[in-house]
Amino acid sequence: MQAAQRYLFALVAVLVLAACGRAPTLPKLGPHDVIVAFGDSLTRGTGASEETAYPAVLASLTGHTIVNAGVPGDTTASGLQRLPGVLAEYRPRLVLLCLGGNDMLRQVPASMIENNLRLLVQTIRASGAEVVLIGVPEPRLFGGAPAFYARVAEDMKLPLEDDVFNQVLRDNRLKSDPIHANAAGYRVVAERLNGFLHEAGAL
């Protein structure tokens, strides 16, 4: 009987740990905590206005200050260079990290993109902020988010949203051009992220 009880306890422990691994959670944000949206043109809102970019819409949905730190053309490498200054200026509690698309357009090796993403996450965490990783699809027909986003999220215990931009950029009604959303598309992203942050415990 004792052996059976030990086995059952071990099985329950494994299941609990597995559940935790599938859905990393975030500390609840305080009312004055700042969120930084850090990325490239998809974060900046290319194809729409500043007021309809996803960070602005998400700010209105959540009531939190969200800094749009998106720079069109940014790569994971150039992001690494400017990230410390952004963190020092805004002192965010949470960073929404969405980079990698321009790397893929420039055919940067996947291993280098993955390594840079890990360094970006480490830099953000060293500042005391939490991270949500946002994956973007490969720039090809029916290209979903590459597997390195999931590997980084799993290894570093990050909440990962790797499907919303894939869905938006496959719908011509939500795009301004082949690689950017329009105002309606960015609203879809903001609404999805709002729900995601609630589920993760941040809101």
CATH number for the domain spanning 106: value is 3.40.50.1110
Tell me the one-letter amino acid at 201.
G
Domain count of the fold of the chain? 1
Cα–Cα distance measured from residue 132 to residue 158, given in angstroms and rounded to the nearest whole number: 6
User: Does residue 4 carry a pLDDT above 70?
Assistant: no
Q: Which two tokens stand for residue 105?
A: 């357009």
Q: Read out DSSP for 87-134?
A: HHHH--SEEEEE--HHHHHTT--HHHHHHHHHHHHHHHHHTT-EEEEE
Q: From the CA atom positions of the chain, what is the Rg in Å?
A: 18
Cα–Cα distance measured from residue 97 to residue 40, given in angstroms and rounded to the nearest whole number: 10
Residues of the domain holding 28: 2-200
Over residues 134-147, mean pLDDT: 87
Non-local (6+) Cβ contacts of 85 within 8 A are none
Looking at residue 17, its pLDDT comes to 45
Query: How many CA atoms lie within 13 Å of 52's alpha carbon, on the beta-carbon side?
Result: 15
How far is the CA of 101 from the CAs of 73, 134, 140, 161, 187, in angstroms? 9, 11, 11, 15, 20
Query: pLDDT-based confidence at 139, cuts 50/70/90?
Result: confident
Looking at residue 21, its pLDDT comes to 44
The DSSP symbol for 173 reads G
Cα–Cα distance measured from residue 143 to residue 163, given in angstroms and rounded to the nearest whole number: 11
Over residues 80-86, mean pLDDT: 98
Cα–Cα distance measured from residue 7 to residue 186, given in angstroms and rounded to the nearest whole number: 49
User: Does residue 12 carry a pLDDT above 80?
Assistant: no
